[in-house]
Structure 1
Amino acid sequence: MTVLRSNFPVGGTPWAMRKAQWTALGLSDEDMEKPKIAIVNSSSSLASCFSHLDGVVPPLMAAIRAAGGVPFEVRTAASSDAITSAGAQGRYILPTRDLIASDIEVAVEGAQLDGMVTLASCDKTTPGQLMAAGRLDIPTIVVGCGYQPSGVFRGEHVDFEDVFLYAGHVATGAMTVEDLAEMASVAVGGPGVCAGMGTANSMHIATEALGMMLPGSAPVLANSPKMFADVERAGHRIVELVLEDLRPRQVMTPGAFRNAVVAVLAISGSVNCVKHLQAVAVEAGCDVDVLALFEELAPQVPLLTGVKPNGDRRIDEFEAAGGAQALLHRLRPLLDLDQPVVAGGTLGDVLGAAQVADSDVIRSVDDPLARHPGITIVRGSLAPEGGVVKRTVEDDGVHRFTGPAKVYSSRDEGIAGIRGGEVSPGDVVVLSGLGLRGSPGMALTSAFIFALDGAGLGDQVVVVTDGQMSGLVNKGLVIAEVSPEGAVGGPIGLVRDGDTISVDVDARSLELEVPADELERRRAELPPLAAPTGCGWLDVYARTVAPLSRGATLGG
């Protein structure tokens, strides 16, 4: 019989304090002996991404109680790329992921609860919750809480991605403020995550492939009967999982991460999945190089679906075609089917009943939409430790490019440069100093990419940055998250206006054509990077964040 860590020796001080507090909450002596389950809720009324999560908690609590457990709701930070990105040029977004993981640790480990169900919504909640699961290593199920319904603008489908894109067009005068306001007022029809293959939906699908989400859970329309059925399933299963003592580190193995990478490549998922999966592996104590997995598997994994912004399919069409289970069923020849999953048994066991409802939406490995990699890792003298390129299904843009550098040190400076006519066709625009330490927190460069598109330059220039992109960005040739970052002496911080840069996506290369002795001279002129001394979260983050090779986890 499983010994529950939440059951303290009777008569001791911890037992007495807990009995006093929990009796006041209405718990009985019998309840004190049951599995105690955390419901990790990142509810917030700041953004529609999280606004429905409080409504998920009561039916989840009921399911846990019906299965013989005792539920406790705990709250964490909640960052929305759409809302929280307003401050510090988006620098709070990525660091919130690690704050979420630590929030969970404080509440769940501090109280010595036995298991947890995490309510995953916007981009940073899923990886933060998975990181906490790996760190604490207690039975955990991640529940994807759904994508938002989209709208109609002047007779055409519109969603949040379109608003994000056309805001960049307004910045360059290609769209009026009035038209953008009308579009924004109808683009989002309810709560949930962005309705495209951005970071949230990509990570939900990756989590199912990883084995940490119940099969058939991703993607799902927020507040739909299907979502609430998944919630009920998770409430019942988590109590069984605690009694079986199946822990995240038994599930999140090297083979499981390989499966997740295969799934992300097959959907041309968000580039943010690379660092998030690496961070989860670090927290789970799993010795796996996720970047190397993307490099190894990219040539082998075809693109099986084209959900916006990668193609013209919608996320609800992908769900109706069978979702992640249908995708993984198609990918069986490329997967490690012996990996355990939180549903019980192996991935191969749960995929046995999967079906593909629409072969046009989710294609087979033998008849894919495309065979080029959905995500390509480039390396070279400008990116010794790698940079990430996102590719669409059609992939009809620039693959090979050589041009003079135009260097900016911030997103806003770059947008001002576009408005001022400083960026010309044939340029390689470099946004440097936006990485983990330089920002700190890795600034979002998406608004700059959309401003380029609005200026008609999206397919005429290349962008290279040590900052990050939103998972919804898929415009032009952009090499993001170049490592090492400029602020710590990486070559991208040594680029000057007029330097020649060459990109070859097919050859997976990114070269700075400047003599090595000249680069060393420039490096010697750089002032030392001073660690922030303040008490703010970004200061703490800058002092402790590890490189992208460790998923930008904290700990230096």
Structure 2
Amino acid sequence: MEQNGHPVAGDAPALRSDLPVGTPRWATRRAQWFALGLTDADLAKPKIAVVNSSSGLAPCFSHLDPIAAEVKRSIEAAGGVAFEIRTVAPTDFLMSRGGSGGYVLSGRDLLAADIEAVVEGAQLDGMVCLASCDKTTPGQLMAAARIDVPTLVLPCGYQSSGHLDNGEHVDIEEVFLKSNHLKFGGVTVEDLCRMSERAITSPGVCSGMGTANSMHIVAEALGMTLPGTTPVRANSEPMWRAVRASGETIVNAVLAGRRPRTILTPDAFANAVMTALAISGSINTVKHLQAIAREAGLDLDVYALFEHYADTIRPLAAVRPNGPDTIERFEDAGGALAVLKQLGDAVIGSAVTITGETMAERVARAEVRDATVIRPRSNPYCDHPTIVVVRGTLAPGAGIVKLSADEDRPMTFEGPARVFDDAPSAIAAIESGGVRPGDVIVLRGLGPVGNPGMGMASQPVFALDGAGLTGKVAVITDGQLSGLVNKGIVVGEVSPEGALPGPLGVVADGDRIAIDLRARRVDLLVDEAELERRIREREPHRTPGDSSSWLSVYARSVEPLPRGATLRGNALPTA
């Protein structure tokens, strides 16, 4: 109601963002928003956050500001009020320089806290999240699950890549890989300069099936995006159509009370896991999905879901670096919806989505435009899963192996351990010839606690490739691997990590290690009593003390990888 053109005290709030008329908070907020040009009519509308991780630091984020502006216009046209908010923008290739790489994964949780602080603090009604680089999408989904306000994830596309003068394709993955060949004579600085100048030819995320594109597709499989929007070329007309449709979708979701926890159900996670396996996605999808599930309040073991569906779901697509196809061909073949279509009756169709329709209704409209790129379940690319969760005496909590869909490689390996407590030492040993065929590199101390935020273990893997040792040397690490790493036998993200009590922290040079990917095991061939003695007598890892640095706070509060490396529990005093 209004009196003399003004709201009347006692009007009942219709939205969570509404405040009782006449109260101090209502009056001061009205003053703030009137200064921004809003009216009393605007203040009665759904108030939507446009979550923008724009940054001038990398092309992953450099195109987001115009997208945010168009999303705001779309929300306003649909009857809402849009408020753009900013978050940290984690990017692997640039932010892994400091903190031994720890700012990358920890940036995911910082981003989720950024969102929570603003959206929950201001009690906004919903949000549209502009999804871009590796950690933004999981961070946004974690925040959505945590604060449980209607949320639309809007994937903002992948970058285009280029060609060398000889016509050879080049992208950021090739630059990363070949840079580790320099000291072995396989490439020159001039070669790297030419590659780096041609690798990225537009804004957007990395163009392979790395973590960014994998998480965009997973977000669609969870039901948190508009249908048919992943993957998508950055700044393409399909991307802009989704941008223009975002306002109506989120306003309707707010008015219908369509909250993330009604969408992020166990059935939705099952669909997401099957999709990740079918696209031969990044191994990082495992810990990110586990983190999202925990933020959604689910008692769900995502690692066990991957183990379960690995028995039946095989790769239906093989996008670089997992196979011959490009991400453009995958998009043109139908993208995520086509994958869900090819999964057939394995998909749990009753799972609901942000638009209110079920996954079955979405899939019914889907079209597989090229069945040679996105294959039916009866004709997969290979007869093995490409995301393999392993366990055993060296990884009782779990480890993850990424396999290719089109490459033959050994499925078993046994050899003596060569133990390193940091990546530079491992690389130096590879370059000096100190690592020999048959060895198993054990690279530890890079887990979320030991190297707060996780250290990157990809460079030693690529150094092995440069030295001609791919497939001849295995790697076992508690560190994080780039979603584009797909070389040799590499067991990543081993849990318990080396900094915590467990077998990884007590492996000694010369201990024999056996890997059997068919049996999904990685075992330390040391007598059980001897192993228990080593663990018992080992000095405990000391986490940072009272430092207020972000990585110190993270180290004191992060939970183990099988719980998604989320921040909870450990920071609280114990009885």
TM-score bracket for the superposition, by shorter chain length: over 0.9
In the TM superposition, what are the counterparts of 1:380-399 in structure 2 within 5 Å?
380-399=392-411
Q: Which residue of 1 aligns with 2:210?
A: 198
Residues 3 and 413 (structure 1), Cα distance of their counterparts in 2 relative to 1, 3 Å cut: same
CA–CA separation in structure 1 for the residues paired with 2:219 and 2:344:
16
Q: Which residue of 1 aligns with 2:142?
A: 131
Give the counterpart of 1:24 among 35, 48, 52: 35
State the AA in 2 paired with 1:550: R
2:49 maps to 1:38:
yes
Q: Which residue of 2 aligns with 1:427?
A: 439
Give the counterpart of 1:508 among 495, 520, 523: 520
CA–CA separation in structure 2 for the residues paired with 1:425 and 1:279:
37
Gaps of 5+ in 2: 1-11, 571-575
2:553 maps to 1:546:
no
Measure how far apart 1:522 and its partner are: 2.3
SS in 1 for 2:121: helix
Q: Is the 8 A contact 1:406 1:428 kept in 2?
A: yes
Q: Is the 8 A contact 1:301 1:371 kept in 2?
A: no
Q: Is the 8 A contact 2:544 2:552 kept in 1?
A: yes
CA–CA separation in structure 2 for the residues paired with 1:169 and 1:226:
38
Q: Is the 8 A contact 2:501 2:540 kept in 1?
A: no
SS in 2 for 1:300: coil
Q: Segments of 4+ in structure 1 off by > 3 A?
A: none
Q: Which residue of 2 aligns with 1:440?
A: 452
CA–CA separation in structure 1 for the residues paired with 2:433 and 2:328:
40
CA–CA separation in structure 1 for the residues paired with 2:502 and 2:63:
43
SS in 1 for 2:98: helix
State the AA in 2 paired with 1:509: R
Measure how far apart 1:138 and its partner are: 0.5
Measure how far apart 1:332 and its partner are: 2.3
State the AA in 2 paired with 1:13: P
Q: Is the 8 A contact 1:271 1:471 kept in 2?
A: yes
Q: Which residue of 2 aligns with 1:87?
A: 98
Q: Deviations 1:174-214 (Å, cap 9, x if unpaired)?
A: 21111011101110001100000000000000110000111
Q: Deviations 1:144-186 (Å, cap 9, x if unpaired)?
A: 0000011111311111111111111124332111101110111
2:542 maps to 1:530:
yes
CA–CA separation in structure 2 for the residues paired with 1:399 and 1:225:
43
State the AA in 1 paired with 2:507: V
State the AA in 2 paired with 1:417: A
Give the counterpart of 1:457 among 469, 472, 485: 469
SS in 1 for 2:181: helix
Q: Deviations 1:454-505 (Å, cap 9, x if unpaired)?
A: 1000110100001110000001110000000111122111111111000000
TM-score by length of 2: 0.95
SS in 1 for 2:494: coil
Q: Is the 8 A contact 2:318 2:406 kept in 1?
A: no
Q: How many residues align?
A: 556
Worse-matched range after superposition: 365-374 or 408-417: 365-374
SS in 1 for 2:416: strand
Measure how far apart 1:367 and its partner are: 1.5
Q: CA RMSD in A?
A: 1.1
Q: Which residue of 2 aligns with 1:293?
A: 305
In the TM superposition, what are the counterparts of 1:116-515 in structure 2 within 5 Å?
116-154=127-165, 155-515=167-527
Q: Is the 8 A contact 2:120 2:147 kept in 1?
A: yes
State the AA in 1 paired with 2:194: E
Q: Is the 8 A contact 2:294 2:564 kept in 1?
A: yes
Residues 17 and 148 (structure 1), Cα distance of their counterparts in 2 relative to 1, 3 Å cut: same
Give identity over the alignment, percent: 55
SS in 2 for 1:402: strand
2:78 maps to 1:54:
no
Residues 301 and 2 (structure 1), Cα distance of their counterparts in 2 relative to 1, 3 Å cut: farther
Q: Which residue of 1 aligns with 2:8?
A: none
CA–CA separation in structure 1 for the residues paired with 2:216 and 2:291:
16
Q: Is the 8 A contact 1:2 1:245 kept in 2?
A: no
SS in 1 for 2:419: strand
2:119 maps to 1:108:
yes
CA–CA separation in structure 1 for the residues paired with 2:513 and 2:279:
30
Measure how far apart 1:14 and its partner are: 1.0
State the AA in 2 paired with 1:205: I
Q: Is the 8 A contact 1:202 1:264 kept in 2?
A: yes
Measure how far apart 1:2 and its partner are: 9.4
Measure how far apart 1:91 and its partner are: 1.3
State the AA in 1 paired with 2:115: I
State the AA in 2 paired with 1:541: Y
CA–CA separation in structure 2 for the residues paired with 1:182 and 1:237:
44
Measure how far apart 1:371 and its partner are: 2.6
CA–CA separation in structure 2 for the residues paired with 1:464 and 1:79:
26
Residues 21 and 361 (structure 1), Cα distance of their counterparts in 2 relative to 1, 3 Å cut: same
Gaps of 5+ in 1: none
Q: Is the 8 A contact 1:254 1:287 kept in 2?
A: no
Q: Is the 8 A contact 2:397 2:494 kept in 1?
A: yes
Q: Deviations 1:207-253 (Å, cap 9, x if unpaired)?
A: 10000111111000011111111111112210010000100000000
